[in-house]
C-alpha cells in the first residue's frame, strides 16, 4: 500500500510556554497548522483570545515558542 501526505492537514505544532501568564511553571499551550506561519498565527490568536494578551506580551511569548514539524498524516493513495 502506498502512503501519501494528506493535504491541508496539520503538519506543524507551535508550543508556547505560558508560565508568565499562569504562574504554572510547566504550563504550555499548543497549536497546530498546515505551515510554520499558520501554526504561529494560531498561537498568537489563542494568546489574544484566551489569555487576553496584548501585542507586546504576544511578541515576548512567541520569542520563547518552539515550532516543530509533527509526524506526517498519511492516507492510502487512491488508485
Query: What is the model's pLDDT at position 23?
Result: 85
Q: Are 44 and 57 in contact (CB under 8 A)?
A: no
Q: Are 73 and 6 in contact (CB under 8 A)?
A: yes
pLDDT tens per residue, range 17-75: 998 888 888 899 999 998 999 999 999 999 999 999 999 999 999 999 999 998 655 55
Query: What is the model's pLDDT at position 5?
Result: 53
Query: What is the model's pLDDT at position 10?
Result: 73
Query: What is the model's pLDDT at position 24?
Result: 85
Q: How far, in Å, CA of 70 to CA of 33, rounded?
A: 10
Query: What is the model's pLDDT at position 9?
Result: 73
DSSP-assigned states of every residue in 12-78: EEEEEE-HHHH--TT-EEEEEESSHHHHHHHHHHHHHHHH---HHHHHHHHHT-EEEE-PPPEEEPP
Query: What is the model's pLDDT at position 44?
Result: 97
Amino acid at each position: 500500500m502506498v502512503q501519501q501526505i494528506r493535504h491541508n492537514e496539520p503538519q506543524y505544532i507551535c508550543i508556547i510556554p505560558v508560565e508568565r501568564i499562569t504562574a504554572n511553571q510547566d504550563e504550555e499551550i499548543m497549536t497546530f497548522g498546515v505551515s510554520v506561519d499558520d501554526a504561529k498565527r494560531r498561537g498568537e490568536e489563542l494568546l489574544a483570545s484566551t489569555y487576553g494578551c496584548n501585542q507586546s506580551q504576544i511578541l515576548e511569548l512567541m520569542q520563547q515558542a518552539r515550532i516543530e514539524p509533527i509526524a506526517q498524516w498519511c492516507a492510502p493513495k487512491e488508485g
